[in-house]
Structure 1
Amino acid sequence: MGEFNRLEPLKAAQKFIKNYFPNCDGALLAGSVVRGEATKTSDLDIVIFDDTYRSSYRESLIAYGWRIEVFAHNLNSYQDYFESDFKRARPSLPRMVSEGTILKDKGVIDSIKREAKELLSEGPEMWSTDTINTKRYFITDTLDDFIGCNNRAEEIFVANTLAELVSEFVLRTNNKWIGASKWVIRSLRDYDINFAEQFVEAFDEFYKNGVKNKVVTLVDEILHPYGGRLFDGFSLGKE
């Protein structure tokens, strides 16, 4: 991809806007390059606002030596994505807008950034007791599978599911945003860096050596304040 000849990210993004979106109302450069976390495989995440667009869209392309991800919105459609991200507790677009470096602005960016920052500051919707109990049940069920499984291939995928369920439980019961993929551990670190290290250590011990006790202990400690494991008496959808 000619990474050694490619433009510096901000210059590449500015040139991209000038040549591909010259009439937009506003544009932001977001993602790892803005946070100072870029790697050799990082791309440029660019958010576009153009009120002439009928609807939002996403597009991927290569320009100026960079992989570029475009997230295009009109001046209303982004609000639907903010709401959707709030409901699923994964604030992808609000985070990009909040952290984004302004590439172009015809007077629309400040208010959109303010909306994003207010949403992020508010945190996700709190779980109800019923939701917490449902999550406890599914964690218990997966933990039982994990403890009882003696097939290495199956154990790995059960552990993956358990890690996802447990990370979600910890974050949501503490009114924190969740994430997917690399954002799982980033979200855990934002919540509590010591807990994040404990979480990684427990699962790393299993993946490396097949030792399960640290994972089991960790899960039980997490569930304890909410009543521990849940199986007996649990029902879902019963009238």
Structure 2
Amino acid sequence: MHAYPTDQARRLVRSRFPDALSAVLAGSTATGRATASSDLDIAVLIDDGGVTCRETIRFEERVVELFVHTRTGLLELFAADVASRRAVLQNMYASGLVLVDSHGEAGRARALAEADLREGPPALGPETVEEKRYGLTDALDDLTDASDAIERLAVAGYVVNAAADLLCDHHHAWIGGGKWLPRRLLEADPQRGAALLEGHHRLCGSGDPAVLISAALEVLDLVGGPLREGYRRTWHGTIDSVAAAR
């Protein structure tokens, strides 16, 4: 495998996207967290008339995640990432290493990304917060009562995600999935985020849910407290039950 992933990324863009308007290398390689097996995350801006897509390839023995978009596609993807409250592509452009920059295109895309990041994600509506409070309260009851170790682990995963979602919304902070969940959680609230993660870690190691339950209850207290009796939803003709969402 070639030793320098940045050089690999440049060779890939030159060979596969010779007319690219801009290309940005993001992810662990750009932030200094890369390992020998890390993939390359590359955002490529192409002219309108091309195809906006995401594609995984292998180049010089390294896996590459390509995020290819036209100018119109980039704006649509930015809007979708804001709506999802994750800002994945915005973070790629804001923190990535510029590989190609034709006539300032990369700079313009970065400016748009940074503006979205400064604005922050849209707040969850009151009904959605209530729904998530009810779902988390119900899960904490299940976690308290769970005697099966496998079920306890499954419920604990839901508890961490639900509490993280509510905590990030409370702080008007972006959310994340996978490895980005703990990173975004700690950015949003270092103290409460760390308590949730430590509670989950302890439960996974010892099976004791007490610390996780306490941390999740603290999050619930920030957003109105546990919700059981009094919760009511009206059917709107779609499958939108809390049970289905879980």
Superposition TM-score, scaled by structure 1 size:
0.93
1:179 to 176, 184, 209: 176
Matches of 1:133 and 1:225 in 2, distance apart? Answer: 12
2:35 to 32, 39, 43: 39
1:120 to 103, 108, 117: 117
Matches of 1:217 and 1:226 in 2, distance apart? Answer: 15
Q: For 1:151-162, list aligned pairs within 5 A.
A: 151-162=148-159
Q: Deviations over 1:181-227 (max 9, x none)?
A: 00000001212333332222111111111111111111111111333
Structure 1 residue 129: deviation in Å?
Answer: 2.4
Q: For 1:82-161, list aligned pairs within 5 A.
A: 82-107=78-103, 108-161=105-158
3-state SS of paired residue (1:138): helix
Alignment check: 8 A CA contact 1:53 1:73 kept = no
Letter in 1 for 2:46: D
Matches of 2:22 and 2:84 in 1, distance apart? Answer: 26
Letter in 2 for 1:16: L
Matches of 1:194 and 1:206 in 2, distance apart? Answer: 18
Structure 2 residue ranges without an equivalent (≥5) = 237-246
Matched, 1:170 2:167: yes
Aligned residue pairs, count: 235
Q: CA RMSD in A?
A: 1.5
Matched, 1:9 2:22: no
Alignment check: 8 A CA contact 1:46 1:70 kept = yes
Structure 1 residue 238: deviation in Å?
Answer: 5.8
Query: Which is worse superposed, 175-184 or 126-135?
Result: 126-135
Q: For 1:17-96, list aligned pairs within 5 A.
A: 17-96=13-92
Task: Give the 4+ runs in structure 1 shifted more than 4 A.
Answer: none
Letter in 2 for 1:42: S
Matches of 1:36 and 1:182 in 2, distance apart? Answer: 16
1:203 to 190, 200, 205: 200
Aligned residue number for residue 192 of structure 1 = 189
Letter in 2 for 1:165: A
3-state SS of paired residue (2:110): helix
3-state SS of paired residue (1:41): coil
Alignment check: 8 A CA contact 2:163 2:220 kept = no
3-state SS of paired residue (1:205): helix
Matches of 1:16 and 1:225 in 2, distance apart? Answer: 48
Letter in 1 for 2:91: R
Query: Which is worse superposed, 85-94 or 51-60?
Result: 51-60
Matched, 1:214 2:211: yes
Matches of 1:238 and 1:74 in 2, distance apart? Answer: 40
Matches of 2:82 and 2:48 in 1, distance apart? Answer: 26
Structure 1 residue ranges without an equivalent (≥5) = none
Structure 1 residue 52: deviation in Å?
Answer: 4.4
CA shift in 2, pair 1:70/1:236, >3 Å: same
3-state SS of paired residue (1:229): coil
Structure 1 residue 54: deviation in Å?
Answer: 3.5
Q: Percent identity?
A: 27
Alignment check: 8 A CA contact 2:192 2:215 kept = no
